[in-house]
Structure 1
């Protein structure tokens, strides 16, 4: 019942994700951070199999850092999205040779001086799209409908957070087994950082 969604506003992009680590009917923890700070100006929100999610996102993060270390400049958000998409595609096409693909869906948000904020949708079969708003997981049925109704270009941070809260309320009230806790992170010209948690039960 994972939920990851994000949007682009006026000078920033944000990603929100549930924080439940579950297996079948068991909840192992409710404070799992599924949004990785990729570098100083990029966020990577992921949903999917827990092992694949952790392994693949760390692999992408270390390669982004390696590129910056070798070349002295960071990857742009578009370049990081295309690199991520390429690694998913490579793993997918090695399936017939015995390697398992990564069952990971990704929203990658970033801020570049020349481009501004951007958001990229990358799914487990290596589809890549640049979007103003996007979502993965069962919560996407409700968060996408709320964003279709209330999202508009150039939203302020306060308006965007209000929309995120509306999405969370809708997910909690409409989803049969709804995750109780969510984390919100933003990226803008000042960098990528945690913004807030929305918790309805104590973290375990």
Structure 2
């Protein structure tokens, strides 16, 4: 029941993901961070098989650091997206990764951007996107309320509406979400949205 979605606003990009680590009918933890800070101005939200997701996202992150160490400059968001797509395409013919990615970044002189990359190495530059069961609701909500010049406050309000809709509509909805933002000031965690548990509920 994974949910990863994001959007590009005026001068920033946001990526949101659920924080549940699930195997079959079991929830192992509810604070798994599925949005990785790749470098100072890039975010990578990923969904898919847990092992593939962790291994592949760490592989991309370390290669970005290696490139910057060797060349003295970081890759742009577009170059990072193309590198990520290339690695998925290469793996597709050998040992494919079951990973879907939303890559968001901010480049000086270019501004914010977001790329959709799925497990079969399809890549598109987008303004809004989603993966997982939550995409059924998040994409329709964004189609209705999204506009390219959204302020951060408007975007957060929209994300909260999407989270409420996911919690209302999905049979097994993830309880917690993490929101991360990237803008000219860098990539960072913005907020968590945690489920509210009644303090009156006690152990029998």
TM-score of the two chains, using structure 2 as the length reference: 0.96
Give distance in 2, aligned partners of 1:72 and 1:85.
23
Give distance in 2, aligned partners of 1:163 and 1:121.
20
Q: Give the Å deviation of 1:201.
A: 5.0
Identify the residue that residue 30 of structure 1 maps to in structure 2. Answer: 30
SS in 2 for 1:155: coil
Deviations 1:68-113, CA, capped at 9 Å, x for gaps: 000000000000000000000000012xxxxx20000000000001
Give distance in 2, aligned partners of 1:153 and 1:90.
34
Identify the residue that residue 4 of structure 1 maps to in structure 2. Answer: 4
Deviations 1:20-59, CA, capped at 9 Å, x for gaps: 0000000000000000000000000000000000000000
Identify the residue that residue 91 of structure 1 maps to in structure 2. Answer: 91
Identify the residue that residue 147 of structure 1 maps to in structure 2. Answer: 142
Unpaired runs of 5+ residues, structure 1, are 95-99
Identify the residue that residue 97 of structure 1 maps to in structure 2. Answer: none
Matches within 5 A, 1:49-88: 49-88=49-88
Identify the residue that residue 44 of structure 1 maps to in structure 2. Answer: 44
Give distance in 2, aligned partners of 1:130 and 1:86.
15
CA contact (8 A) 1:181 1:201 kept: no
Deviations 1:111-144, CA, capped at 9 Å, x for gaps: 0012100000000000000000000000000000
SS in 2 for 1:187: strand
1:171 partnered with 2:162: no
Give distance in 1, aligned partners of 2:109 and 2:79.
14
Q: Give the Å deviation of 1:153.
A: 1.1
Identify the residue that residue 21 of structure 1 maps to in structure 2. Answer: 21
Pairing partner for 1:130 from 119, 122, 125: 125
SS in 2 for 1:119: strand
CA contact (8 A) 1:13 1:188 kept: yes
Give distance in 1, aligned partners of 2:78 and 2:162.
27
Q: Give the Å deviation of 1:148.
A: 0.4
Q: How many residues align?
A: 197
